[in-house]
Every structure is written in structure tokens, then in C-alpha cells.
Amino acid sequence: MYFPSKRDLWMTMVLWGIALTGVTIPAMNGEMIGFLIMLPLSLLLLWFWFRTGYKIEDEIITVSYGPIKMKVPINNIQIIKKRKNPFTAPALSTDKLELVSGRFDVLSVSPEDQEEFIKQILEINNKIKLDSRIKFRK
């Protein structure tokens, strides 16, 4: 099952603002070299916007973050915690779940439907501990 990333308004404004400003200003000023340099950079930013999500399939979470892909074995996850950190990726929201699969293996994700995401994970590995801040109906 695929879970798109939740998107915060501030992240929307930052990504789209930089992408549009980066191509609009050089285009309006007739700077074609600047426009041609900024166009791929702007498209890269928008790739993150449109292609950030999480797919649960065959006991693996595949995390897509623009051109970056990571795989997390669900059976390795030990704890799911609630986090509010604007500086961790791959997520487009500060409303995140932190997947802890070892002492140093931590990944933050921000699925739109956190409850269903957790439910799908727990169906595969019901030994995962949940943070007390996670409101979840089993």
C-alpha cells in the first residue's frame, strides 16, 4: 500500500517559492543561461514535492524522496515514536513518525494517514513498541 507524505504549508511555500522564483526571475530578465541553470534545479526541488511517499510491500517499507529511495525491513523496526522536527528527512511535514530499527538506525517519515500506516506495519511486526504519544485504535 502506498502512503503519500503529509505536506505542511511552510514546506509548500519554501519549495514552490524557490522553484518558481528560480526560473521566473532569470526568464523575466532575459537571462537565458541563468534560466537554463535554474530550470533543472527547480525541477529537482519539485521532484521531491511530487515523489515523496512510503510504500509497504513484502515486509519492506520503500521510502521515496524525490530521486532518493531507501528500503527499511519492517521486521527490523523496534520502536515507532512521534516527532515534531522540521529538519529531518525524508518528510514534507513536521508531524512525523520516527522508525527506530537499531541503536543508530532512525528514519523519520510523515505519511498523511499515520494511523493506517502504523496499522499496516503492526500487521507485519506486532512486536514494535509504540510511543505513548501515538493515538492509535487497534
- In contact, 4 and 51? CB cutoff 8 Å: no
Question: What is the CATH classification number for the domain harbouring 21?
Answer: 2.30.29
The predicted model gives 80-94 an average pLDDT of 80
| Residue 63 domain-assigned (yes or no) | yes
pLDDT on residue 74: 95
pTM score, whole prediction: 0.84
| Residue 138 domain-assigned (yes or no) | no
Q: What is the mean pLDDT of the chain?
A: 90
| Residue 136 domain-assigned (yes or no) | no
User: What is the number of domains present in the chain?
Assistant: 1
pLDDT at 87 over 80: no
**Residue range(s) defining the domain that contains residue 89:** 2-130
DSSP state of 62: E
| Residue 124 domain-assigned (yes or no) | yes
pLDDT tens sequence across 23-75: 999 999 999 999 999 999 999 989 988 999 999 999 999 999 989 999 999 99
| Residue 135 domain-assigned (yes or no) | no
What whole-number distance in Å separates Cα of residue 131 and Cα of residue 121? 14
| Residue 21 domain-assigned (yes or no) | yes
| Residue 16 domain-assigned (yes or no) | yes
pLDDT on residue 88: 67
| Residue 7 domain-assigned (yes or no) | yes
DSSP state of 118: H
Residue 29 C-beta-side C-alpha neighbours within 13 Å? 11
pLDDT on residue 91: 80
Lowest model confidence (mean pLDDT) among 43-52, 84-93, 108-117: 84-93
